[in-house]
Amino acid sequence: MSENMPVQSNGGVADLEGRWRDIYTYLERPGPLANDGFEPGDQVKEFLHTLKILVIGAGGLGCELLKDLALMGFTDIHVIDMDTIDISNLNRQFLFRASDVGKPKAEVAANFVMKRVPGVKITPYFGKIQDKDEEYYNQFTIIICGLDSVEARRWINATVITMFDEEDPETFKPIIDGGTEGFKGQSRIILPRMSACYECSLDMQTKPTTYPMCTIANTPRLPEHCIEWASVLEWAKEFPDKKLDGDDPEHIKWLLDKASARAKEFNITGVTYTLTQGVVKNIIPAIASTNAIVAASCANEAFKIATNCATAMNNYMMYVGDQGVYTYTFELQKKEDCPVCGGKAIKVEINPAHTLEDLMDLLMDRKDIQLKKPSLRTGTKSLYMRAPRMLEEATRPNLGKQIRELMEDGEEVTVTDETLPISIQMTVRFTE
């Protein structure tokens, strides 16, 4: 896409008769691969064109996703991203131009696609996913993630899964998660409480490369050791109260000088500014084609889930592109004791004038959950912790307090018990 190409004005859908012809091929007739419940016809077309879909991340995967979805018939797309455009994004994040550097990714990407694909509405939000509450996420039918961190994925996974209320089908939001790292990529589908969630498979995440503390302190052999020495040990010594910011050129420069001096002392070569920033921010070069493949897979799955015109993937696809092209699809298993989706959700009604101890008795009496030594916390408060001893002593006075002093009506309480592999999310409703 060159900058000089004529861009169609937003002339409405009428002058684009037949634009969805190829898409409709899948939606107007039954097919051997279609799901049992698939009903071809106008209704499913209408559903595709009107449902709200959320794209999280407007970076390498996000740009591809927005383009793919807009061209596939999704016309009500929302996008959320907290970043602004950096010059190093331009090689692969093709919705951005040099003149966009410094502007919010979500807004620039939304405007570009809206200008290019008439009739598509993209609503950007420039900010963190954590800024938004359940009400925001509840408006979408499908959520697609093109994120770059484990932390953000865990957050959105936990948020979307815990907001699913089995009595309210509307709260069921499939998550499609794409991820790339160099020539490797993956896409997966998370169906809240039906299939493995992100937390179920947390153990399989590779963690950032770290080096033994003693190696970086005493026997450095690699330029990375020198940089880690500077960033882990020296920075904390020099600036005990300042947090290291990998995006601050002054911080990186300081590390570079320290690391270079150390490298010289140990006859190590290869400490550069780029490497320093790479080690500190744990950068792995992004490959445009990997993003394109993974995003295509995610968009494809979104289309299948939305229309039911074919069976969706079950449930994880890995792609390895550094030695030929290899993909493998398999089912990640749900973990019974997963802290996010393995737990049980229960509702308890209690008079707020009763005490926490009464609430505990009520819990212990329930036959469906065999509790022996429960510990209870809200999102911000330790109500009663059975152990360790000091926490038990600090929270014991709460047992005699009235429920209304400790929580609000509708408060979510997490219950754990050492005899129980899972945790329980309890919603406490007041009877008054």
Partner 1 sequence: MLNIMSLKKKKAEGGGEGGPKKPKTTAAQIRLQKDLGELDKLPSTMTMSFPDPNDVFNFQLTIRPDEGFYKGGIFRFTFKVNTNYPHEPPKVLCTQKIYHPNIDLEGNVCLNILREDWKPVLNISAVMVGLQYLFLEPNADDPLNKEAAEVLRSNRRLFEQNVTRTMRGGSVEGVSYADVTR
297/286 Cα distance (integer angstroms) = 18
Q: CA quadruple 101, 107, 112, 113: dihedral positive or negative?
A: positive
Cα-flanking dihedrals φ and ψ of residue 118, to 5°?
Answer: -60, 145
Among 19, 28, 45, 47, binds partner 1 (CB under 8 A): 47
Q: Which listed range, 67-75, 175-183, 249-257, 376-384, lies at the site for partner 1 (CB under 8 A)?
A: 376-384
281 binds partner 1 (CB under 8 A): no
Does residue 150 belong to the site contacting partner 1 (CB under 8 A)? yes
Q: Closer to partner 1 at the Cβ: 13 or 387? A: 387
Q: Does 418 bind partner 1 (CB under 8 A)?
A: yes
CA distance 327 to 401: 57
426 lies in the site for partner 1, by CB under 8 A:
no
> Does 394 help bind partner 1 (rule: CB under 8 A)?
yes
Cβ-contact 80, 129 below 8 angstroms: yes
Q: Counting every residue, how long is the chain? A: 432
d(CA 325, CA 313): 19
Q: Is 279 helix (H, G, I), strand (E, B) or coil?
A: helix
**For partner 1, which is the closer residue by CB, 135 or 432?**
135
- Write the binding mask 337 to 366 for partner 1: x where contact by CB under 8 A, - elsewhere: --xx--x-----------------------
For residue 182, state whether it binds partner 1 (rule: CB under 8 A): no
Q: What distance in Å separates the CA atoms of residue 95 and residue 89, rounded to the nearest whole number?
A: 10
Q: DSSP character for 185?
A: E
How many residues at the interface with partner 1, by CB under 8 A?
84
For position 134 contacting partner 1 by CB under 8 A, the verdict is yes
C-alpha–C-alpha distance, residues 412 and 406, integer Å:
12
Of 75, 89, 159, 276, the one binding partner 1 (CB under 8 A) is: 159
* Binding status of residue 311 toward partner 1 by CB under 8 A: yes
Place of tokens 């089908």: 169
Q: CB 379 → partner 1: shortest distance, Å?
A: 5
Span of 61-69, 94-102, 251-259, 308-316 interacting with partner 1 by CB under 8 A: 308-316
DSSP letter at 201 equals T
**Residue 133 binds to partner 1 (criterion: CB under 8 A):** yes
CB of 3 to partner 1, least distance (A): 38
35 makes contact with partner 1 (CB under 8 A): yes
Residue 32 binds partner 1 (CB under 8 A): no
- Residue 423 contacts partner 1 per CB under 8 A: yes
Active site residue 145: no
213 belongs to the binding site for partner 1 (CB under 8 A): yes
Q: Is residue 28 within the footprint of partner 1 (CB under 8 A)?
A: no
CB of 281 closer than 8 Å to CB of 246: yes
> From the list 21, 237, 243, 367, which residue makes contact with partner 1 (rule: CB under 8 A)?
237
Residue number, 57 or 118, with CB nearest to partner 1: 57
Residue of 246, 229, 231 lying closest to 283 (CA atoms): 246
The SS3 assignment for 23 reads: helix
Pairing of strands 374-377, 382-384: antiparallel
According to the binding rule CB under 8 A, does residue 231 interact with partner 1?
no
Q: Three-state DSSP class for 428?
A: strand
63, 145, 197, 214: the catalytic one is 214
Q: Find the part of the chain contacting partner 1 (CB under 8 A) among 21-29, 68-76, 300-308, 354-362.
A: 300-308
- Which of 169, 285, 324, 400 touches partner 1 by CB under 8 A? 169
> Position of tokens 């309210």?
168
**Backbone φ, ψ for residue 216 (5° rounding):** -70, -25
Judged by DSSP in three states, 264 sits in helix
Point out which span in 8-16, 262-270, 357-365, 411-419 binds partner 1 (CB under 8 A). Answer: 411-419
Are 373 and 365 a contacting pair, CB within 8 Å? no
Active-site residue set: 214
